[in-house]
Amino acid sequence: MGKPTGFLEYQRELPADRPPRERISDWQEYHLHMEEAALKKQGARCMNCGTPFCHTGNLLAGMASGCPINNLIPEWNDLVYRGLWFEALQRLHRTNNFPEFTGRVCPAPCEGSCVLGIIEPPVTIKNMECSIIDRAFAEGWVKPEPPAQRTGKKVAVVGSGPAGLACAAQLNKAGHWVTVFERADRPGGLLMYGIPNMKLDKSVVLRRVEVLSQEGVVFKTGTEVGRNFPADQLLKDFDAVVLCCGATKPRDLNVEGRKFKGVHYAMEFLQASTKSLLDGSPTPLSAADKDVVVIGGGDTGTDCVGTSIRQKCRSLVQLEILPKPPQQRQADNPWPQWPKVYRLDYGQEEAAALYGEDPRQYCVTTRKFTSDASGHLSGLEIAKIEWQKDPSGRYSPKEIPGTEKYLPAQLVLLAMGFLGPEESLLNQLNVLRDERQNAKAAYGRFATNVSGIFAAGDMRRGQSLVVWAINEGRAAARECDRYLMGSTQLP
């Protein structure tokens, strides 16, 4: 695929980002676009390797390897190189319902598994994916395609995140009448309220929702099944149900002072910020003129950093309990696994431009929070830790005496991941849970213990990537279709 000698002739090149000090003054996406000639060169770097690990979609020792939705990456790289953009879109849409989402927010395990990446910087797969779909929308190639005929079957999809949207799209293609229930005031789930606008513009989400609506998918927002829509009504009104409610129960930090005013879960903060932006109203939870501490070093923590800076916080520190990643792959993290190496993400880059350094502090634990006389957060006491191996071979953190330190803070954001789905709906539907408290449904079948109820995405597998959610939504739709019709033609 591509040009046979392209990987020898052209260097990896990504589109420029807007300068940090410019972009922190607004909420627009921070990525810029590349010219077509440059994109063709990047497509030419795809090297026609014998076994393209980029689209294998495996887990190796628990680490992602390749694309979970098996994107036909070498094919659309070659088509872009040859200037066949519409054909590239057709290949892209065969496996991915929403390349405009994955092309913006996926960490690109495909690039970590690129064969060229063994010896050179890998092919720019993620940017190519985003460029294809953005051009397709600009050219008017993405049009509603309602099914030619309907089966008469009705399916409820609970949750409109990436798994729910993918599931709804596929079931609608099969000819079923699909209704998507979303408790928020806008559809999109995590894509709408869990990812800030500068990373994924909400017009991009709503644009795709509008296409789905025109294809026949019905969205019921402001409707929380189990609260203002009876859970037992689902199986009375619908022939099947697919639960795609996500893993929205946040991990807490149970230390002294946790209940002081000013300690919040990251999602509370991010949701309030995005809703404020979309509604054009002040946010009830702002970082403005505050010393902010973000606890947690993942993507959600990064989003809290970028959001706090745009809200004009006074200072910002990000705490990570794990060690600082190495600059290069280590022996226990071989290709084609996702490389666990040090990266300066957009939020940290902005903080460094503003404050002079990466805001992250590694191997740090929080000992307690402090408050003023009125019970408002005033700061937190932290300490350095080291990871020690116990006799069983497991690592655990141990505080290093004498490393205690105090940080002033009026806002602390807990971004330490998620424990699984909320329990209420699963309990009302009598759906069993696995040992990790996720909805119990075997991968590949997605059927729960309750006949006619399926589960997919983070609700079934636990906190994961948007691309895995799309994988599960598509696969659950296939199995739901098989349940309804006895067989299925869905891919």
Rounded to whole angstroms, how far apart are CA atoms 163 and 159? Answer: 8
Give the separation between CA 491 and CA 480, rounded to whole angstroms.
13
Report which residue type is found at 59: L
Which neighbouring-strand residues pair with 293? Answer: 317, 412
CA distance 83 to 37: 9
Verify cis geometry, omega within 30 degrees of 0, for the bond prior to 323. Answer: no
The CA–CA distances, whole Å, from 472 to 180, 199, 477, 489 equal 16, 23, 8, 17
Q: Which two tokens stand for residue 371?
A: 């408050």
DSSP character string of 72-119: -HHHHHHHHHTT-HHHHHHHHHHH-S-HHHHHHH---HHHHT-GGGGT
Domains of the chain and any CATH numbers: 6-139 (1.10.1060.10), 154-248+419-485 (3.50.50.60), 252-416 (3.50.50.60)
**Which residues are paired to 389 by β-bridges?**
395
Q: What parts of the chain have a pLDDT lower than 50?
A: none
